[in-house]
Structures are given as C-alpha cells and as structure tokens.
Amino acid sequence: MLTFFGLTLDYRLNLFRQIHEIVFHGQGGYDWDIVYNMPIWLRNLTFNLIVNYHEPKKNEAESTWIEGEAVKEAAKNKKVKYPIYNTGVSKK
C-alpha cells in the first residue's frame, strides 16, 4: 500500500484509538470533532493526562483481583476457615 499521499494504516489506527479513548474517558467533555481537530500536541497531552489519571485505579483493581484470587486458592486448600453463622433456625 502506498502511503506517500496519506497516513499509514498503523498511524490511522492509533489516531482513531486515541480519539476514542479521549472521548470515552473524557466523560462528555469532548466530542469526536473537537478531539479530531485538536492540535497534535494538545491531543497527545490530553491523552497522556487521562492515561496517568486512570493508571493508579487500574493498578488498584488488579491488586484487588489478585488478592481475591489468593483467598479463593487458600479456600480450595482448606487454609481459610469461614465463620458459621447462627440463623436462629433449629436443626431438627
């Protein structure tokens, strides 16, 4: 594919993915036309700010998931003792 008069497929894919992420995570603050027509330096800055904002949340969610998996694994190995709740119902 000749790219002399246009953008490469990879560049276009990254451009549209970046626009989507800014519009989606911008929570209504941006629409597609505004982001597409932004200067490149401003679009890159906005994208990086959004990534840096969401990165700690992603890491926290991943660590919570890993801790949950560790508890499930310990339960399989019978290392976790779950409490027995008294429901007040007699067992006759």
Contact (CB, 8 A) for 34 and 42: no
Overall average pLDDT of the 15-34 stretch: 90
- Inside any domain, residue 68: yes
Within-domain flag for 90: no
83 lies in some domain: no
Number of structural domains, the chain?
1
In a domain, 46, yes or no: yes
Evaluate whether residue 67 is within a structural domain: yes
Average pLDDT over residues 25-30: 85
Domain contains 20? yes
Provide the pLDDT confidence category of residue 5 given band limits of 50, 70 and 90. confident
Note every long-range contact of 19-28, with CB atoms under 8 Å and residues 24 or more positions apart, other chains counting.
19/43, 21/47, 21/50, 22/46, 22/47, 22/50, 25/50, 25/54, 26/50
More confident residue, 5 or 3: 5
Q: Is residue 82 part of a domain?
A: no
The residue with greater pLDDT, 90 or 26, is: 26
Residue 38 pLDDT grade (very low, low, confident, very high; cuts 50, 70, 90): very high
Residue 89 lies in a domain: no
Per the structure, the complete domain to which residue 18 belongs is given by 9-76
